[in-house]
Chain A
Amino acid sequence: MAEVGSHDYEYVEAGTIDVKDLPPLDAATNKIMKDEFTTGLSLSVFYFILIFSIPVMNWFAPAFAFKKIWGGITVTWFVTTVVMMAMAFIIAYVHTAMYEKRLKKYDIANK
C-alpha cells in the first residue's frame, strides 16, 4: 500500500475482492471505529432532533413558536439564532472531550 501522510500519494495497482470474502477488521481498529461511530451517531441523532424540532415547531405549533418572550424576540427567533449557535459548539465540544477521554483510555490500556 502506498504511503501517504507526510508523503506524496503514489498510484499503485491494487486488486479488488468480493465483499463477502473480505476478512474482518482487526479487533483494535474495529473497537476504535465502533466506539467512535457510536458516539458520533448518538450525538448527531440528538443534534438532528433539536435541528428538525425548529421547523416542526414553526409550522405545526406557530402560536408557541412565535410567542414573544423578550421585547420582539420570539421563542423561535431566540432558539434559532442564539441557542442553536451555542448548541453547534456544545455538541462538538462534547464529542472532542469524549474522544480525548477515549485516547487516554487506549494509552493506559497499551501501557
Chain B
Amino acid sequence: MMEALLEPKMLMTIALMGTIVYITYLTKRNATASDFFVGGRSFGWFTNGSAIGGDYLSAATFLGIAGLTFQLGYDGAYYAFCFSIGLTLLAIFVAGPLRRFGAFTVADFLAYRFHSKRARLVAVAVVLAISGFYAAPQLLGAAQILSMFFGTSYEFGIIFTCVVMIFYVGIGGMKGTTINQALELWIRLGAFIVMLVAAVYSGLHYDKILAAINSFSGPITGTSPYALDGNDVNFDGAAWTGTGFYFPTFWQTISMTIGLALGTIGLPHILLRFYTNPSAKAARKSALMAIGIASTFFLLAVYLGVVGRSIFISGTASEEVMRDLVLGGNNMVIPTTALALGGKWLLGLVIAGAFAAIFSNLSGLFITSSGALAHDLYANIMKKDITQKQRVIAGKVAIVLLGILYGALGLLVKDASIGHLVALAFTVAASTFTPIFILGIWWRGMTEKGAIAGLLIGLGVSMWMIFLPGTLPSFLQFKIPGIVTVPVGFLSVIIVSLLDRKVPADVNEFMKRVHSKESETV
C-alpha cells in the first residue's frame, strides 16, 4: 500500500489534487451570480490568457494531437495546424466586442441582441450539445489514464472524474476554475518542455527521427505479443509522412480545415472566458497570450507524436512501452512516450499534466453549461424573480446534473479517438455559434428568426452529417463535414434574415455598445 502511494505517478497526481482542493477552498466565496459565473470580471490578461490557454488546450491537445500524429503522421499533424487557426480568428473578430457586450453566458448575447427568450432557449440547447460533444472525450482521456496507469475500471474513471469536477467547479465557481486553469496550463506546458528536453537529450532530433520513420517499411519488431492477430504490426513510413494517409482527397482536407479553423469562434467555454476580463483591451491581450501558448503547445505535441512513433519502430523500447503503445491506442502515446524517455518520474509528471488538461477543460465546460442551465434556463426563462444567492445555488445544482449527463456520455465513447471527437465538436460550433457571433457583431441586418434558423439548421445538418453519413451520397460524406455545414450555417442566417427584414429597433445602440471606445472598460 505504502509502496503504491510513493509511486511518482501517485505522488504527482495527489499533489495536483491537493493544489486544486486548496485553490478551490480559497476561492469558495461566491456571493453573487457575477462571482460564480464570470469570476467578478476581475482577471487580468495574464491570468485570463493562461486560463484561456488552459481551457483551449484540453486532453485533445495534450493527449490527442500527439496521438493523432503518432497514428496518422502528416494528416494527424494537420489537425494541430487547423486547431491553431481558430483562436487568431476569434481574437480578430470577436474577443473585443464580446467583452464590451459583457453579461454572463453565450446565450445572453442572443437574448440581448434580439430581446428574445426563444433565441436564448435555442442557444441553451446548442451550448449543451457542443459542451456534451467536448466533455465526452475529456472524460474518455481521464478514464483511460486511470485505467492504464492506476488499474481502475473505465467506468470508475468516468465516475471519479465527474465527482472531482462537481466538487471543483461547484465550490470554486469561475474564480476557482480560472485560477486552477491558469495553474494547470503551466503544469502541462512544463511537462511538455521536460519531455522535449528528454527527447533531444536522448538524441531524438526532429530531422533524424522523421528521416528514420520515412524510410521504415514492414513489420515492427516486438509488437506481436500484444497484437490481436498475434503478428507484428505493419507500418509504411513513406505513406505516414505523406498526405492522404487519413484524408484521402483534397476536398476532405479542405473540409476539415474549414470546420476546425472556424470552430473556436463558436466554442461556448472559450467565448465565456472573454467575459471575465476587466476590459476589451485586456480581452484582446488575453487572446494574444493564449494564441502564443497554444501555438507552442501544438508544435511540441506534434514533435512528441513523432518521437512516440520513432520509439515504437526502433525496436529498442522496453516490453512495457511496446505493450502500452500497442494496447493503449493513440490516446495514450504521450504517457507511454514519457515513460520511455524519462522513466517513472517523467510519467508521473505527464500523468499530472494530463489530469490538469482534462480538469482544466472540463471545468470550463461545466461552468459554461451550468450558466446555460441555471442562468439562461432557470433564472431567465423559468423563474425570473430569484435572488443572487438562489442563482448561485441553481448554478451548483446544474453542475451536479451536468456531472451525471457528461458521465453518461463519457461511458458511450469508450473506443473513440479524443482528437477526432473534439474535432467534431469544433465542426458543430463552427456551423452554429460562429455565424451567429460574426454576423451578430458585424451585421445590423441579422434578425431573430435568422439567428434561430441558423442555429437550428447548423446544428441539424452537422448532426446529420456526423452521425448519419451513410444516408448521404458519397460526395457528401466527409470525416469532418465543415465544408458543407459551415456555409449552410452562414447562409441560413443570411437568407432568413433577408427574407424576414425585421431587425431589433435598438440594433444601433447594440452596435455602439459592442464597438465604441466609450464602452471599452464597461
A: residues with CB less than 8 A from B are 1-2, 4-9, 11-20, 22-23, 25-26, 28-29, 32-33, 36-37, 40, 43-44, 47, 51-52, 54-56, 58-60, 62, 65-66, 68, 70-74, 76-77, 80-82, 84-86, 88-89, 91-93, 95-96, 99-100, 103, 106
Contacts and interface: CB of A to CB of B under 8 A. Distances in A.
Interface of A is mostly: helix
Interface in B446-477: 447-448
Contacts of B201: none
Contact of A40 (B33, B92, B205): B92
Contact of A95 (B91, B103, B214, B380): B91
Contacts of A15: 504-505
Nearest to A91: B88
A44 B257 CA distance: 14
A4 B108 contact: yes
A70 B207 contact: yes
Given A11-B380, A28-B516, A33-B515, A52 B257 contact: yes
B261 interface: yes
A66 B100 CA distance: 46
B93 interface: yes
Nearest 7 CB-CB pairings of A with B: A71-B207, A72-B210, A72-B211, A5-B102, A5-B522, A16-B502, A85-B295
Given A33-B511, A51-B261, A58-B243, A11 B519 contact: no
Interface in B92-131: 92-93, 96, 100-104, 108, 111-112, 115, 117
A63 B206 CA distance: 21
Contact of A72 (B91, B212, B254, B510): B212
Interface string B60-100: 00000000000000100110110011011101110010001
A93 B450 CA distance: 33
B389 interface: no
Contacts of A6: 34, 41, 102, 522
Interface of B: 33-34, 41, 74, 77-78, 80-81, 84-85, 87-89, 91-93, 96, 100-104, 108, 111-112, 115, 117, 205-214, 241-243, 250, 253-254, 257, 261, 281, 284-285, 287-288, 291-292, 294-296, 298-299, 302-303, 380, 384, 442, 444-445, 447-448, 501-513, 515-517, 519-520, 522
